[in-house]
Chain A
């Protein structure tokens, strides 16, 4: 599935666009299973723009976590990752920049992530692209104080924690953490919310450009979840970050992200500006999904589940992978696989009939009117 070039930016061409920080092209991940080959990422393309917050939204088993792993070449064996993932470092021409750590981008203005050696990868992760996993607050070493974790991470990248202190203090402040208390605590002395925020600080200690977060708030209390979401926007602004936020929770990202990429059956069904995509989605799956998720104040009468089941990775339907569950699918959808095509400004959907989808699959975000509302 290739992105329509008129819609997307010109990232795939020889001249890299300064607005793009990472691009994925024809990325596939497959596993050999006794039942056959399972595609858990099926030829996906995506451009990630510099300093944006992009939400990758999908249900469980849609391939969203696999996409996150692929971005850092971290797909675990026996998964086989193919395709191109390119990283465009900032100001590559400077030669000697204020680079911390061991990663040397040299004079290249584009870096082939999948072609790196293990050593290169090791410094690329943390220094350029960093990752926070779901429930990762439980990955702290229980016998080591938090300061030790920061020390160890910085040393592994040939840097000195003392030089990084000002930066760490800034991070702690942005995340509403008490520096002295948290640094001198063992992990078990801290609550889940504090640990998760400390982990976000740790992942940013080497000033990476990109932060990939896989369900970073899923194991937390509602209030903490919502608070962290608010902090992420401040973090992005203060540290010029690009954030890839992976979640199954569509309402969670409406106020956070600049763009949303919806995954279904191991590929992107729809990619676009958050507001446009939520207000008037063009892909039948996105529309059906929006119709199936009751939100806190929307009208409830129109709620419908999506009929049918998600596809088996060994046996992805031919043609459009959503066609067995799609109310507007016809013969063409059963044979031909639609590519992501621009529908509106900054909205691309992998569907042959976006207009029909908009006409025939209604959903509303409208809030219900209450007399008791103040």
Chain B
């Protein structure tokens, strides 16, 4: 631990040193940690499905209802990467995030951490290259409401000591204290000695969220899942929290899966970090790509809908947009228990044609982004198939701005 001690004494230490030292420690602790050197992506999610059986035990047994919360998702996360999952409530973005970091066992598909199937590691520990415990450490979570994520009867000091006591057992009491102070400084809580003695109720919402970020970083994770991590903060403080996350990402090279329902904030994070935005709809990623493409040149009709739903602040443009009809045929979301055939979005899609009801589009290359829409393919039969009219629908449009 000598490297770490020097790090603590030296104010100008770059966090890369710290991280390097800590990674070295980890490597010592887990000698079979050989997967580090391969070309595998950090996290690879393939064909992921999470289906729930709703109801109580008996209902679940008697009926075959399933809710397809996540329904066939693939994505890869590199080191020092950022992916922002956006979508409306109920689209499955939280479930996908949880499954991706091993908090939720998928009903089908795989999640691989550095090439190691994480559920395989848990269920067959003998054959695992990377231990389950190591995987759990490498993937941390920040929740939406920091007030519920911190034990209200413990001081910041003891909250932050927990991860160190569990994963850095070699640290003595004094070294642990120094590490806690150092991380408090990283998350902008100065002076750290003062904040370490406080209880959560003596902190503002923004400060509490910074403690949870510091606590996650203390585990030296490779991936942090941030589930609506700024939504509980005051509007004027959100940019500050996002900037802190971005600065610390630069320092620690951590990868983030950031979940947001707000396209404007998603754009900020993805753009400032060079990451991607993934748009989810009814359990699937329908478009994924760099923020400029998603915002300014959306390929999927649903991305257009999200874009329309996010108002512009410029009053002149906003007033103009006010008179525009929404780019959908109906505004209500279908039941996830009984998703529509073919493309899940077709009953609401303004461009839907017969072909969309039959076949389910996968993600196609659409120029800057990947989009799950046949319109990305110039030679698809979509272009020759007849347009859908509302008469074809089994249910009447009850709340849409149907073209009447």
Count residues on chain A whose CB falls below 8 Å from chain B CBs: 57
| Nearest-CB residue, chain A, relative to B243 | A305
- The SS class assigned to the B binding surface is helix
- What per-residue 1/0 map shows which CB atoms of A286-317 lie under 8 Å from chain B? 00111011111110100111100110000000
Is residue B61 contacting chain A, with contact meaning CB distance below 8 A? no
Kindly identify which residue among A194, A226, A255 contacts B315, using a CB–CB cutoff of 8 Å: A255
Determine the chain A residues whose CB is within 8 A of the CB of B234 once the complex forms.
59-61, 310
Q: Are A300 and B326 within 8 A (Cβ)?
A: no
Looking at chain A's contact residues, is the secondary structure mostly helix, strand, loop, or mixed?
loop
CA–CA, A61 and B234, complex, Å: 9
Contact partner, B312, options A60, A233, A275, A296, Cβ 8 Å = A296
Q: How distant is the Cα of A60 from the Cα of B204 in the complex, in angstroms?
A: 13
Q: How many residues of B contact A (CB 8 A)?
A: 56
Q: Is A222 an interface residue (CB 8 A)?
A: yes
Q: Are B237 and A222 neighbours in the complex by a CB distance under 8 Å?
A: no
Q: Given the known A-B contacts A226-B326, A304-B239, are A296 and B295 also in contact in the complex, defined by CB atoms under 8 Å?
A: yes
Is B313 a contact partner of A251 (Cβ separation < 8 A)?
Answer: yes
Q: Are the CB atoms of B292 and A372 closer together than 8 Å?
A: yes
Chain B CB within 10 Å — which of A60, A230, A250, A297 has the most? A297
A223 touches B292 (CB 8 A): no
Per-residue contact bits, chain A 330-368, to B (CB 8 Å; 1 contact, 0 not) = 000000000000000000000000000000000001110
Min CB gap B209→A, angstroms: 13
Task: Tell me if A188 is interfacial: C-beta within 8 Å of chain B.
Answer: no
Q: Are A303 and B315 in contact (CB under 8 A)?
A: no
- In the bound assembly, the distance between CA atoms of A230 and B314 in angstroms comes to 16
- B235 close to chain A: CB less than 8 A: yes
Query: Which B residue sits closest to A177, measured CB to CB?
Result: B399
CB-nearest residue of chain A relative to B333?
A: A221
Contacts of B204 in A (CB 8 A): 309
A178 to B292, CA, bound (A): 39
- CB interface residues, B 300-328, toward A, < 8 Å: 305-323, 326, 328
B321 to chain A, nearest CB (A): 6
Known: A59-B236, A256-B322. A226 touches B308 (CB 8 A): yes
In the complex, which of the residues B307, B313, B316, B368 has the most CB atoms of chain A within 10 Å of its own CB atom? B313
Other 8 A-B pairs with CB < 8 A, given A223-B326, A249-B235, A296-B267: A223-B328, A229-B311, A250-B313, A255-B322, A289-B236, A296-B310, A305-B237, A310-B234
Residues of B with Cβ closer than 8 Å to A? 88-89, 204, 206, 234-241, 243, 261, 263-265, 267-268, 271-272, 292-293, 295-297, 305-323, 326, 328, 331-333, 368, 396, 398-401
